[in-house]
Amino acid sequence: MAVNLKGKSFLTLMDFSTQEIRYMLDLAHDLKAKKRAGIYNYVLKGKNIVLLFEKSSTRTRCAFEVAALDEGAHVTFLDSGSSQVGKKESIEDTAKVLGRFYDGIEYRGYEQSVVESLAKHSGVPVWNGLTDIDHPTQILADMMTMEEHISKPLNKCKVVFCGDIRNNMAYAWMYGCAKMGVHFVAYGPDVLIPDPEVIAKTSEIAKQTGAIIEVSSNPECLVGADVLYTDVWASMGEEAQTPDKVKMLAQFKVTMDMVEKTGNKDVLFMHCLPAFHDFETKTAKEWKEKGIDIREVTDEVFRSRHSVVFDEAENRMHTIKAVIVATIG
């Protein structure tokens, strides 16, 4: 059956079939090739989109802006500091107003219920640019990057996510891997138990797609990995937990030993970014002065031939363009 995503919101990969995710990935590869060749079809000419950010961003914001402008759409950026959102106006009322002006709404913030509410009340597609429990546009970019670097299909690949196995990236990976038939291992400490509901839901889908969704604290799970993935140990909004997280996760820092343990000389290192891999950031420096090393990956791995982190960053734009084009183009 032909895929038609027009008018649909992009809140989580759980809302999409394997075929629909395949369609968005294929579209992203196609749009990337077209951009490289200087071909623009301006399929969003005359469209207006709004980007609503309650948390900071470099990649996601820039990806939405460039993607939309490449295709001829106009973009408005709003943050919580300079708009009425949340302080003087409810999400429901905000959605009803923005839906009158715009053809699509991007939201980055805290609760998943906010993107759901925006979608329910705005009447236009809403795109999830990250919440506390999901980051679906990132997974599209990561899978696109895997397809560029690994000759096997996604459903023959093994991804090991190291570190904070209860964060938005870990869950987004579980959803994406379940849908696309990927072998996913959440490798972290026993004390961090991922949401049993997420494990149950993704394990159910895995039965149909051939995916494997596992949680492990045993380094043996690294063997045979095609991708070692990590993310910051304290996500946006939980910076105060940094010292506890560092204690809990230090042994899951991605090192060259870990890369070697996979037994795969071509294993990829991936990270959604921003990453702490050296002490060249204010945050990493300040914690270091207090005797705390917050790096989730060594600089050696981050800069090694295994690392494809900047390809992933570029692919945020191509995949986000695919999502916008598929839903409002």
Burial of 158 (0-12, 13-18, 19+ CB in 10 A): buried
Catalytic annotation present for 241: no
The three-class DSSP label of residue 185 is strand
Interacting partner of 298 out of ligand CP, ligand NVA, none (Cβ under 5 to 8 A depending on kind):
none
Residue in 34, 40, 306 with CA at minimum distance from that of residue 160: 306
Per DSSP, what are the bridge partners of residue 79?
A: 53
Give every CB contact of residue 39 below 8 A, 6+ residues apart in sequence.
none
Nearer to ligand NVA, 99 or 163 (CB): 163
Interacting partner of 58 out of ligand NVA, ligand CP, none (Cβ under 5 to 8 A depending on kind):
ligand CP
Query: Which residue reads 């204010």 in tokens?
Result: 282
What is d(CA 238, CA 109) in angstroms, rounded to the nearest whole number? 13
What is d(CA 329, CA 319) in angstroms, rounded to the nearest whole number? 14
Considering the candidates 70, 134, 164, 231, report the single residue annotated as catalytic.
231
Nearer to ligand NVA, 73 or 227 (CB): 227
**Binding ligand CP by CB under 6 A: which of 25, 52, 54, 59?**
59
Question: Does 17 sit near ligand CP (CB under 6 A)?
Answer: no
Nearer to ligand NVA, 73 or 144 (CB): 144
Interacting partner of 78 out of ligand CP, ligand NVA, none (Cβ under 5 to 8 A depending on kind):
none
CB nearest ligand NVA: which residue? 235
HSE of 27, CA atoms in CB hemisphere, 13 A: 21
Considering the candidates 226, 272, 295, 318, report the single residue annotated as catalytic.
272
Provide φ and ψ at 302, rounded to 5°: -60, -35
Binding mask 199-238 for ligand CP (x = CB under 6 A): ----------------------------------------
Catalytic annotation present for 112: no
The 126-128 sheet, strands edge to edge: 74-79, 48-53, 104-108, 126-128
Nearer to ligand CP, 273 or 292 (CB): 273
Write out the two tokens for 276.
């702490």
Considering the candidates 138, 226, 277, 295, report the single residue annotated as catalytic.
138
Q: Write out the binding residues for ligand CP, residues 124-153 only, by CB under 6 A.
A: 130, 138
Catalytic annotation present for 271: no
Q: What are the Cα distances from residue 83, in Å, to 52, 119, 263?
A: 9, 19, 51
What is d(CA 286, CA 269) in angstroms, rounded to the nearest whole number? 26
Stretch of residues binding ligand CP (CB under 6 A), selected from 22-30, 90-98, 266-274, 320-328: 266-274
Which residues are tagged catalytic?
A: 108, 135, 138, 231, 272, 316
- Interface residue list for ligand CP (CB under 6 A): 57-60, 130, 138, 272-274
